[in-house]
């Protein structure tokens, strides 16, 4: 897997991540969602540099101009519900893409430290020979990302796979590296060092879904 970790370089993206982490700024859910969306836009722009292009003649009022235009058939898939703002950011740039949505969540068992990933809702177009962009803001254990990819397999084999996350843990990055095709790309704004006993990223930012959309009923 090719890992593109943008915390290793200085850019305005650092400011958006800092605001998402900040407990005081987190009190504004609209700004939290917008920062995830802007992160999706930046990561989408960087991702676009490795896609395929073809030259087409564009007619202007005064003549023609050759332009290198994106030629990939893209499917954007986000993991509900935290993935919605990230999906919107990517869709702002890949606006001609097809879209897929999947519900994958943690179902906790007897102990808070123990959980399984449940996939319930799934809507997806044909994936054969497409460029699949799989978006989930928090790459913690990596189990949700892998479960999502497994659930998508009946819809076809994509030509290439790109994973997009805001913040991940090293453990989660290592896990998806083992379970995705070797030519998969991971585009991520920051990688933190560890998970706590409940499987949350430390220092992380908390529960992205709750911060974006409000607290949910516990399973």
* CATH code, domain with 203: 3.40.50.2020
219 belongs to a structural domain: no
Q: Is the pLDDT of residue 97 over 60?
A: yes
SS3 155: helix
Residue with tokens 């898939």: 77
Q: Is the pLDDT of residue 108 over 60?
A: no
59 belongs to a structural domain: no
Q: Is the pLDDT of residue 212 over 60?
A: yes
61 belongs to a structural domain: no
106 belongs to a structural domain: yes
Which tens digit of pLDDT belongs to each residue from 112-130?
555 566 778 899 999 999 9
DSSP element (H, E) containing 94:
none
Q: Domain containing 10: what range?
A: 2-51+66-213
18 belongs to a structural domain: yes
C-alpha span between 64 and 49 (Å, rounded)? 24
Distances (CA, A) of 15 to 21, 87, 149, 186: 10, 20, 31, 21
Residue 55 corresponds to which tokens in the numbers above?
Answer: 């030259």
The pLDDT of residue 199:
86
58 belongs to a structural domain: no
C-alpha span between 170 and 146 (Å, rounded)? 15
For the segment 1-7, the average pLDDT, to the nearest whole number, is 96
Report how far Cα 2 is from the mean position of its chain's Cα atoms.
15
pLDDT > 70 fraction of the chain, expressed in percent and rounded: 93
The pLDDT of residue 81:
85
The overall average pLDDT reported for the chain is: 93
The pLDDT of residue 105:
62
pTM above 0.85, yes or no: yes
166 belongs to a structural domain: yes
Q: Is the pLDDT of residue 111 over 90?
A: no
Q: Residue 5, class by beta-carbon neighbours within 10 Å (0-12 exposed, 13-18 middle, 19+ buried)?
A: middle
The pLDDT of residue 171:
96
C-alpha span between 187 and 167 (Å, rounded)? 10
**Close Cβ partners of 170 (under 8 Å, ≥ 6 residues apart):** 191, 192, 193, 194
The domain total for the chain is 1
56 belongs to a structural domain: no
The pLDDT of residue 52:
98
Residue 196 corresponds to which tokens in the numbers above?
Answer: 């706590």
**Count of CB atoms within 10 A of residue 175's CB?**
19
Residue with tokens 């409940």: 198
For the segment 164-177, the average pLDDT, to the nearest whole number, is 97
């Amino acid at each position: 897997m090719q890992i593109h970790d943008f915390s290793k370089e200085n850019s305005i993206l650092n400011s958006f991540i800092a605001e998402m982490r900040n407990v005081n700024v987190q009190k504004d859910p609209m700004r939290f969602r917008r920062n995830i969306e802007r992160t999706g836009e930046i990561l989408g722009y960087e991702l676009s540099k490795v896609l395929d292009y073809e030259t087409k003649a564009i007619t202007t009022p005064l003549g023609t101009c050759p332009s290198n235009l994106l030629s990939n058939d893209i499917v954007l898939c986000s993991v509900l519900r935290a993935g919605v703002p990230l999906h919107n950011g990517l869709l702002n740039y890949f606006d001609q893409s097809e879209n897929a949505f999947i519900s994958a969540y943690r179902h906790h068992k007897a102990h808070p430290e123990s959980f399984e990933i449940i996939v319930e809702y799934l809507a997806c177009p044909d994936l054969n020979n497409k460029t699949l962009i799989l978006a989930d803001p928090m790459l913690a254990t990596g189990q949700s990302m892998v479960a999502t990819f497994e659930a998508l397999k009946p819809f076809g084999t994509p030509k290439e796979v790109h994973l997009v996350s805001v913040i991940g843990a090293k453990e989660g990055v290592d896990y998806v590296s083992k379970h995705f095709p070797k030519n998969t790309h991971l585009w991520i704004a920051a990688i933190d060092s560890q998970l706590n006993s409940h499987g949350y990223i430390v220092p992380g930012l908390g529960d992205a879904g709750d911060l974006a959309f409000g607290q949910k009923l516990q399973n």
